[in-house]
Amino acid sequence: MEDIATAFPAVKILEHASLADYTHTKTGGPADYLAFPTNVQEAKSLLAYAHQLDLDVTVIGNASNLIVRDGGIRGLVMILTKFKTVTVDDVAHTVTAAAGAAMIEVTQVAQAHQLSGLEFAAGIPGSVGGAIFMNAGAYGGEIAAVATSAEILTPEGEVRTLNQAELDFGYRHSSIQDYHDIVLTATFSLTPGNGDQIQAQMDDFNARRAAKQPLDLPSCGSVFKRPTGHYTGQLIQEAGLQGLKWGGAQVSTKHAGFIVNIDHATATDYLELIHHIQQVIWQRDQVRLETEVRIIGEEPQA
């Protein structure tokens, strides 16, 4: 049997490709095979062929809230950022977006059609698929409030549509995480609004984000979930950890809930710094910090 790159000459497939070129932290080891399907049929065919070869399959989007360990990922990695179609039903007041479309772009399309409900996501750097997977949220809003359905590809290769109840949204959670489905598209139900007011709200959120977050440096976004009754950044700050450097990684001096890559950091630098923060906060405050960032891949070989 041909290897997967030879079998799909029309699909961009790289072998032993560094995932650091695709993650927002600029870290991560190699993928055995890295594929960029452009449509659902290519994704289905790649999934089926990988199963025939007994290859594990990992799907990522914009890799904005992701750490890939330095050992990389075995098998096939599919990046769906070439799935970018965004359509609007002005009668039903819905926006349907492909998994690889940037959430920022989707909010701009909604604003252009004077549809309100996605303003909170105006600065979220992830893709639609990642936003559904994580139930992304910011500034009091979250995807669960507007996502009414998602078309998914099951690990068995079946295309299905999940309604909102089946998506089982929770805090930074969806059923996609439990069943390892692949998001293909998502539909958002919005409400008619005033385009200028929608844009003003988006501008306000983006200005607040720029003022508080280290957008000028590579990072994986907010590292930890918010623990009940606490603010993560405040806990880290009060523990004296803001500005702490670990290899090339540093607790951001602008927002202590972020870890930034300041000097060719490795994923191991990130993960060791995360573990250190968790230990210190537990010992000092008896608060368990759970990671919001998704951590995948293998440890580097000794």
Which residue numbers are catalytic?
172, 222, 292
Q: In whole angstroms, what is the distance from residue 117 CA to residue 196 CA?
A: 14
Q: How many CB atoms lie within 10 A of CB 203?
A: 12
Distances in Å between the alpha carbon of 36 and those of 1, 9, 61, 100? 21, 12, 10, 11
Look up tokens 């139930």; give the residue.
135
Structure tokens at 129: 């698929």
Instruction: Say if CB 261 and CB 218 are below 8 A apart.
Output: yes
H or E element at residue 18:
strand 12-18
Q: In whole angstroms, what is the distance from residue 302 CA to residue 298 CA?
A: 12
H or E element at residue 209:
helix 195-212
Residue 235 one-letter amino acid: L
